[in-house]
Amino acid sequence: MQFGHLRRREFISLVSGTAVAWPLAARAQHPGKLPTIGFLGTTDPSTMRPWITAFVERLRDLGWIEDRTIAIAYRWAEGHPERYAEIAAEFVRLNVNVIVTTGPAAPQAKKATSVIPIVLALSGDPVGAGLVASLAQPGGNITGLSMQWPDTAGKRLELLREVVPSFRRLAIMVNVGFPDAVLEASEAKAVARSLGLEIARLEIRRAGDIVSR
């Protein structure tokens, strides 16, 4: 689901192969400086290569050519959430025109700036995460795509219960450093209780918390 519209001069659509409208901010540029997209990757270049390829190709289709008509500043957190704030602050210092990222890094990007437009290529529940006021009228400087993961978490459990009537126990593993995952786990827990399921919640804070059996 696409939410929000930021009113600016120019729009680019499609992030990672899914149509989404987002603006390059109409802020003053130094002579000769290309409009710049700050791309905050939560993982690493190899993991996101298909996304980046689709992103750059779609920009080209719309006439935005990397290093010719626009510049893209790539930064990679490489799975370290503590780097989100650092990268977002760097983008503010660089005065990029727009920040593109995903749900996990969105809170830190929002803290870093209320002026630079932020586009979420993917977000589980921007309303529940406190990123926007509503999908219809988000307000502020954030737009993008919402997958509404919390809503689907409960529906998946209900469907599973219908398919497997003997389903009685549920283990929920959640990365507590990922706001969308926390919201999804909370919804799943609430629905599980309503279905009378026995619940075990397992919180993951670091890679070492996952032990091979």
In the chain the domains, ranked by start, together with CATH numbers, are 2-146 (3.40.50.2300), 149-209 (3.40.50.2300)
* Region of residue 16 (phi > 0: left; psi between -120 and 50: alpha; otherwise: beta): left
Q: Reply yes or no on whether the pLDDT at 97 is more than 80.
A: yes
Q: How confident is the model at residue 24 (pLDDT cuts 50, 70, 90)?
A: very low
The end-to-end CA distance of the chain, in Å, is 38
Note the pLDDT of residue 32: 57
Cβ 98 vs Cβ 116: under 8 Å: yes
Location of structure tokens 């935005």 = 64
**Higher-confidence position of 61 and 177:** 61
Note the pLDDT of residue 7: 36
**Ranges 11-20, 64-73, 122-131, 156-165: which has the least confidence:** 11-20
CB burial string 91-118: b at 16+ within 10 A, e below: bbeebbbbbbbbbbbbbbbbebbeebbb
Note the pLDDT of residue 121: 84
- 136/134 Cα distance (integer angstroms): 5
Torsion of CA 134, 139, 140, 146, to 10 degrees: 40
DSSP run (H or E) holding 157: helix 149-163
**pLDDT tens digits for 102-116?**
888 989 999 999 999
Q: How confident is the model at residue 26 (pLDDT cuts 50, 70, 90)?
A: very low
Q: How many residues does this entry show for the chain? A: 213
- 191/154 Cα distance (integer angstroms): 5
